[in-house]
Homo-oligomer: A and B are copies of this chain.
Amino acid sequence: MSSSRTARERVRAELTREITDIARRHLATEGAGGLSLRAVAREMGMVSSAIYRYFPSRDELLTALIIDGYNAIGEAVENADAACPREDHTGRWLAVCHAVRDWALAHPHEYALLYGSPVPGYKAPQDTIAAAARGTIVYGRIVSDAHQAGALNSPGICPPAPAAFSEDAARVRTIVPDVSDDVIARALIAWTGLFGWLSFELFGQFNNVIFDRTTAFDHSMRCHAAMLGLPV
């Protein structure tokens, strides 16, 4: 019967989720390289080979974790954005920044898995790339909304984007529609600036130097907004 088939499948889905949960927890203690199928199986109370009923290899498990991570960060970003008035583009940008940071601080090893050094020997499959776009798309919509609302006023301090940039800009425009090359260039700076800050903060580069990180972060992201052309 279809109800009993879903019974077995429900157990399967449940155990799959349990495996990824445990794996995620191990990631948080051992780091990406230390993720071991045997350790996960041990904690599941299973024999190590049983894991292979659920994931055909260690890399597939890693892939699942990466996709989950991108989705978690994407969801956090979407929620933060959705909670702001549509026309408050600066507020939306800042909300997104803080959402990414809060998530990163709560899940430092997952952040490292997504935005840190690539895991040696691991080749990211195509599925992860789609998941990675989720947060970026929200950011792109904020910028293009601001542009369409006429709220994006170039601060006029950057040199114009070079002609050689236009091909790459065209590709980025699929995520940030309608805006000029100049805006795309500045949007890229803000985006890399956000993650650059977080990587410094999470990977220890601020140790013994910056202590009130929330304050400095917030101010930095406001400056990025200003450079982007948003009202601050």
A223-B117 contact in complex given A168-B210, A192-B200, C-beta closer than 8 Å? no
Q: Are A192 and B197 in contact (CB under 8 A)?
A: yes
Q: With the chains together, A129 CA to B204 CA distance in Å?
A: 10
Within 8 Å CB of A205, what residues of B? 115, 132, 195
Closest residue of chain B to A224, judged by CB? Answer: B189
List which A181-203 residues lie within 8 A (CB) of chain B: 185-186, 188-189, 192-197, 199-200, 203
Asked if B120 and A226 make an inter-chain contact with CB atoms under 8 angstroms apart, the answer reads: no
Find the B residue at minimum CB distance from A172: B209
In the assembled complex, the CB of A223 is this many whole angstroms from the nearest CB of chain B, namely 4
Q: Mark A19-30, 1 if CB is under 8 A from B, else 0.
A: 000000000001
Supposing A192-B193, A209-B168 touch, asked if A159 and B232 sit within 8 A by C-beta, the answer is yes
- Nearest CB of B to A13, in Å: 30
Contact of A215 among B31, B162, B200 (CB under 8 A): B162
Bitwise interface map of A from 115 to 157 toward B, beta carbon under 8 Å scored 1, else 0? 1111111001000010010000000000000000000000101
> Is A222 a contact partner of B115 (Cβ separation < 8 A)?
no
A204 and B193 alpha carbons, distance in the complex (Å)? 16
| 17 cross-chain CB contacts under 8 A | A30-B120, A115-B203, A116-B117, A129-B208, A157-B223, A157-B232, A161-B219, A165-B216, A167-B212, A168-B211, A171-B208, A185-B219, A186-B223, A188-B220, A189-B223, A195-B205, A199-B199
Residues of chain A whose beta carbon lies under 8 Å from any beta carbon of chain B:
30-34, 112-113, 115-121, 124, 129, 132, 155, 157-159, 161-162, 164-165, 167-168, 171-172, 185-186, 188-189, 192-197, 199-200, 203-205, 207-212, 215-216, 218-220, 222-224, 226-227, 232
* Nearest 8 pairs of A and B residues by beta carbon: A196-B196, A31-B120, A116-B117, A33-B33, A112-B117, A158-B223, A192-B196, A157-B226
